[in-house]
Amino acid sequence: MENNKITIHDIAKKLNINSSTVSRALNNSPRVTQKTKDKIIAAANEMGYQRNLLASSLRTSRTHTIGIIVPRISRHFFSSAIAGIEETAYEAGYHVFICQSLEQLEREQNLVNTLLANRVDGVMVSISMETENYDHFQGLKNRGVPLVFFDRHCDIPGYNTVLIDDFRAGFEATEHLIVQGCKNIAHLSGPQNVEIYKNRFKGYQKALEKYHIPFKEEMVFSSRLMEKDGAESAKSILALNTKVDGLFSANDVAAIGAMQYFKEKGIKIPHDIAIVGFSNEPISGIMEPSLTTIDQPGFEMGRLATNLLVSQIENKAKEIMKETIVLKPSLIERRSSIK
């Protein structure tokens, strides 16, 4: 008999018990004693039985799978969030599909449709930099598929969200530079349609306001925050009439690009310009000089988002109060900003 043709009826026949008991045992039903379960599982393994997940999902209308969409798996923050999601989902009995939008709205929309076609029980999303249209998320809602946003979220009501206090983080990063004696602080910002970058920018503005430092539009450089964008912004900073002595970047990657450009041009960090990044990429600690940054608890964020999603999936019939969990940022002081 071929392994993949083994059915519960074959196991039942071998053990001389009825098929419904075998089915219950394999689904871990409390109606079957542990001793019988052990005997059935041992026989199933020995005979090479494999559950037909599709058939069982059609019966239960659950696939025990969760879809995750992140901008880039290569970013340390997202890979640590995925580790938190995967571990928590596994403990709850769910498998995970991981997809990356590569910061493209169209790709994100297609991924949502693919996950729907694969009948996932729920979806977790950190949106792309291009996402200004939210219709594809409405499609999930219309199909009754629970959705949780984490980190990069949409400012639309009715969804569970887990994020860091980006406003507070932007404020603390900028305040740290001011306390170090910086008077002219530039900001490398992400696209303002993305809530996290909008809030980090607002935090930067608020810190300037608190210390009576005038806000100057020409000190803000908006980009997709890649390394090359950081270098381009650094070039523009050096071309300004004002001598910039502080820089707050909305991510570490752009900060590192800027640092490399400044070093090539003989600008001393932190003596000439003090720099603070965001997200605590592993390279930040081993850079020369090491980069002051805001730590983002990715694993914890992934864990909390998964708990919210699983609770929504398992209590689908009940109307659950929508929740926003906001985690506290923490500034890691390193050599790039200490004057």
Q: Is residue 195 part of a domain?
A: yes
Q: Is residue 332 part of a domain?
A: no
Please state which of the ranges 1-15, 82-96, 166-180, 228-242 shows the lowest mean pLDDT. 1-15
Q: Domain total for the chain?
A: 3
Instruction: Say whether both 21 and 117 belong to one domain.
Output: no
Q: Is the pLDDT of residue 41 over 50?
A: yes
Instruction: Say whether both 204 and 255 belong to one domain.
Output: yes
Instruction: Say whether both 218 and 309 belong to one domain.
Output: no
Instruction: Say whether both 156 and 239 belong to one domain.
Output: no
Q: Is the pLDDT of residue 3 over 80?
A: no
Report the alpha-carbon distance of residue 297 to residue 268 in Å, rounded.
Answer: 31
CA 189 from centroid of its chain's CA atoms: 19
In the chain, the N- to C-terminal Cα span, in Å, equals: 75
Torsion of CA 148, 153, 154, 157, to 10 degrees: 50
Instruction: Say whether both 140 and 285 belong to one domain.
Output: no
Per residue in 238-267, pLDDT (tens digit) is 999 999 999 999 999 999 999 999 999 999
Q: Which domain holds residue 130?
A: 63-163+298-327
Q: Is residue 334 part of a domain?
A: no
CATH number for the domain spanning 254: value is: 3.40.50.2300
Q: Is residue 337 part of a domain?
A: no
Instruction: Say whether both 106 and 208 belong to one domain.
Output: no
Q: Which residues of 249-269 are buried (b: 16+ CB within 10 A; e: fewer)?
A: bbbbbbbbbbbebbeeeebeb
Task: Identify the pLDDT of residue 270.
Answer: 95
Indicate the pLDDT class of residue 2, thresholds 50, 70 and 90: very low
User: Are the C-beta atoms of 249 and 255 separated by less than 8 Å?
Assistant: yes
Pairing of strands 246-249, 95-100: unpaired
pTM of the predicted structure, to 2 decimals: 0.79
Q: What share of the chain has pLDDT > 70, as a percent?
A: 94
Per residue in 45-98, pLDDT (tens digit) is 888 887 665 555 555 567 889 999 999 998 899 999 999 999 999 999 999 999
Q: Is residue 190 part of a domain?
A: yes
Residue 273: strand, helix, or coil: coil
Instruction: Say whether both 94 and 242 belong to one domain.
Output: no
Instruction: Say whether both 223 and 135 belong to one domain.
Output: no
Instruction: Say whether both 269 and 302 belong to one domain.
Output: no
Phi, psi values for residue 325, rounded to 5°: -100, 125
